[in-house]
A and B are shown apart, each in its own frame.
Chain A
Amino acid sequence: MTGRVPLFEAEGIVMRFGGVVALRKVSVTQFEGETLGMIGPNGSGKTTFVNVVTGHLAPQEGRVRVAGAEVTGFRPHRMAAAGITRTYQAVRVFRELTVADNIATATVDAPNRMDADEIAATLDWLQLGHRLAVPAGSLTLFEQRRLEILMRLVQRARLIMLDEPVGGLSATEVRAMLQVLGDLRRRTGLFVIEHAMKVIRELADSVVVMLAGEKLMQGTPAEILADKRVVDQYLGRAHA
């Protein structure tokens, strides 16, 4: 059903921090039109994987390719130019700048940015239009998370890697965020790290399960939830 065009291909990624091996030969490919999920216990290397793919960390071994071209070790600004972007586990916006300035900053070096009308429409959709003049630091967490997404959308990112997008949100907000993400996946490629299985189940076409820096398995949400190792290693403990 998809054209099977890869958004990114990560191959045999090894990332060590001193003695700690955070990623051991991890290979993941995400195709256009597909939403990829990633789950795994704390410290299993999920954030590190995103850091490698988006250029925050240069892996000791392995390769990252985007649109067929090797981009391993490229700095994040070049990854952004290639349309690969991410959000942070702890929400991150320019707190002292207004929402409008945050958005303007996101477009300043985006070659493929939206025009003003499209931005206005996206603002409406994310319900941030009335907050433009407010310093981003005084938005609610949920609003800040939406602003983070908005700042990637105005760049017309091809892939947004979301690091725990519902972390810290209330139950109502989680539902609202799920709705936002459900729409978002029709607009752009999504890669979602989450502990909340509900989010993964609703969004992901395919899920990568990480364990201690290794890719334990990959499959549809139904497949991984049926796997005994996943239930033992991860869900059993997370739900305990």
Chain B
Amino acid sequence: MTDALRKHGRGLLVFAVAAYALPLLLAGNRYFAFIGGIALLHVVWTAGMSLLYGYAGLMPLMFAGIAGISAYAAVGLMAAGFAFWTALPVAALFAALVGVGLGLPALRLKGFYFTLCSLVIQTVITLAFVYFVNLTNGDTGISQIAPPAWFGGPLQGVGFDLVLATLAVGAMVALVLIVEAPFGRRLVAVREDDELAEMLGIDVVRQKLAAFFVGSLFAAVGGAFYAPYVGFVSPRSFDVLLSLNIWLMVAFGGRGTIWGAVVGTVLLAPLPFLLQDYYKVKDVIYGLLIIGVIVLLPGGILGGLGSRAAAGTGTQSPGLRRKEAA
């Protein structure tokens, strides 16, 4: 544990300084500060996706759905009179457990079949958000979600941004501790060759399940904070495109590298907001980037830097890397 912190200590320190500085530097402009906050929120999500995709080699397209379940659950609990800080753990745990429950059968499937199954599950979740109107207010969504209470007042503005910075730093510390623990090594083994990993004594299903639970928890915590931070949730907020975009941030930065996901997030998460009126152009840009990553940058932009995990970037298991000439 201390080894892990020593190894990534400098990175974590730099990230923490940047994460806290960001809201303070942008405090003058609420809109930019909001974009910064959204990026910090996405760091929580990409940390979870990094664990699932970068380390365990799973591509869960239901990631956004789990975040959404948590967000709706948190909003529902708050509407029922619970404080946000009570609703948060309940909603997050609930969503992560639902995620594991839904994902459990899919975890037996491999590669494309797992991804397809997760897409189906995501679609079901999105449809459920639309369909169960009395819980979710359907397509219209729920707006004017109250901010969490914080020392007597509402948590807003820079205060909320700093809470998100803390959350993002916490997520990265957790990710570092997880992947540097024996658990991380097991996941890499499962990603590289699950049959061989099993033969060497690793309980593959159990590791995938554990990774799925932890990854879902990241998704869910991010979702629960998303609701009051943005103040609005709708089925569109948590559709498959969000899953895909979070995946893109990880893959773009470099799968299996701790900091690649952060770089990818910082570069890509603010994009839709900076495009403002051309909001929909984001889809085109993200789509082009997805193709670019698959075709040109299978290791991501940090993938070439030779850390241990980076050496394992391209694997056959999810097969996102072209066969090496060597």
- Which residues on A are within 8 Å of B, measured CB to CB? 54, 56, 75-77, 80-81, 85-86, 88, 92-98, 101, 104-106, 108-110, 135, 138, 151, 155
* Contact residues in B for A109 (Cβ distance below 8 Å): 182, 186, 200-203
Q: How far is the CA of A85 from the CA of B201 in the complex (A)?
A: 9
B308 and A98 contact, CB distance less than 8 A: yes
* Contact residues in B for A81 (Cβ distance below 8 Å): 201
A135 — nearest CB in chain B belongs to which residue? Answer: B311
Interface pick from B64-72, B91-99, B190-198, B258-266: B190-198
Q: How far is the CA of A86 from the CA of B314 in the complex (A)?
A: 26
Task: Select one of A88, A96, A104 contacting B312, CB under 8 A.
Answer: A96
Q: A88-B196, A98-B308 are in contact. List 12 more A-B contacts (CB 8 A).
A: A56-B195, A56-B199, A77-B198, A77-B204, A80-B199, A85-B200, A94-B193, A94-B312, A95-B192, A97-B192, A108-B189, A110-B200
B319 → chain A closest CB, angstroms: 13
A108 and B202 contact, CB distance less than 8 A: yes
B250 touches A (CB below 8 Å): no
Count the B residues whose beta carbon is within 8 Å of the partner chain — how many?
24
* Contact residues in A for B185 (Cβ distance below 8 Å): 101, 104-105, 108
Q: Given that A94-B192, A96-B192 are contacting pairs, would A105 and B308 also be in contact in the complex, using a CB cutoff of 8 Å?
A: no
> What are 18 A-B pairs at a CB distance below 8 A?
A77-B203, A94-B193, A96-B192, A96-B312, A96-B313, A96-B314, A96-B315, A97-B192, A98-B308, A98-B311, A101-B308, A104-B185, A106-B200, A108-B189, A108-B202, A109-B182, A109-B203, A135-B311
* Contact residues in B for A80 (Cβ distance below 8 Å): 199-201
Q: How far is the CA of A76 from the CA of B199 in the complex (A)?
A: 5
B220 touches A (CB below 8 Å): no
Q: How far is the CA of A214 from the CA of B267 in the complex (A)?
A: 62
B188 touches A (CB below 8 Å): yes
* Contact residues in A for B193 (Cβ distance below 8 Å): 92, 94
Task: Select one of B182, B204, B314 contacting A108, CB under 8 A.
Answer: B182
* Contact residues in A for B314 (Cβ distance below 8 Å): 96
Task: Select one of B197, B199, B203 contacting A54, CB under 8 A.
Answer: B199
* Contact residues in B for A151 (Cβ distance below 8 Å): 200
Contact with A along B268-282 (1 / 0, CB 8 A): 000000000000000
Task: Select one of A98, A105, A135, A155 contacting B189, CB under 8 A.
Answer: A105
B208 → chain A closest CB, angstroms: 13
* Contact residues in A for B315 (Cβ distance below 8 Å): 96
* Contact residues in B for A77 (Cβ distance below 8 Å): 198-204
Contact with A along B235-267 (1 / 0, CB 8 A): 000000000000000000000000000000000
* Contact residues in B for A138 (Cβ distance below 8 Å): 326
Q: How far is the CA of A12 from the CA of B260 in the complex (A)?
A: 54
Q: How far is the CA of A46 from the CA of B203 in the complex (A)?
A: 26
Q: How far is the CA of A81 from the CA of B186 in the complex (A)?
A: 15
A85 and B311 contact, CB distance less than 8 A: no
B320 → chain A closest CB, angstroms: 13
Q: How far is the CA of A54 from the CA of B314 in the complex (A)?
A: 29
A109 — nearest CB in chain B belongs to which residue? Answer: B201
Task: Select one of B200, B204, B311, B326 contacting A105, CB under 8 A.
Answer: B200
Q: Given that A92-B193, A98-B311, A135-B311 are contacting pairs, would A155 and B188 also be in contact in the complex, using a CB cutoff of 8 Å?
A: no
Q: How far is the CA of A97 from the CA of B315 in the complex (A)?
A: 10
* Contact residues in A for B202 (Cβ distance below 8 Å): 77, 105, 108-109
Q: How far is the CA of A164 from the CA of B189 in the complex (A)?
A: 24
Q: Given that A96-B314, A101-B308 are contacting pairs, would A76 and B192 also be in contact in the complex, using a CB cutoff of 8 Å?
A: no
A134 → chain B closest CB, angstroms: 10
A239 → chain B closest CB, angstroms: 33
Which of B182, B185, B198, B201: most chain A CB closer than 10 A? B201
* Contact residues in B for A106 (Cβ distance below 8 Å): 200
Q: How far is the CA of A110 from the CA of B197 in the complex (A)?
A: 12
Q: How far is the CA of A2 from the CA of B39 in the complex (A)?
A: 68
* Contact residues in B for A54 (Cβ distance below 8 Å): 199
Q: How far is the CA of A85 from the CA of B196 in the complex (A)?
A: 11
A84 → chain B closest CB, angstroms: 10
* Contact residues in B for A97 (Cβ distance below 8 Å): 188, 192, 311-312
B200 and A155 contact, CB distance less than 8 A: yes
Q: How far is the CA of A101 from the CA of B182 in the complex (A)?
A: 12
B277 → chain A closest CB, angstroms: 44
Which of A54, A76, A155: most chain B CB closer than 10 A? A76
Contact with A along B145-160 (1 / 0, CB 8 A): 0000000000000000
B300 → chain A closest CB, angstroms: 15
* Contact residues in A for B312 (Cβ distance below 8 Å): 94, 96-97
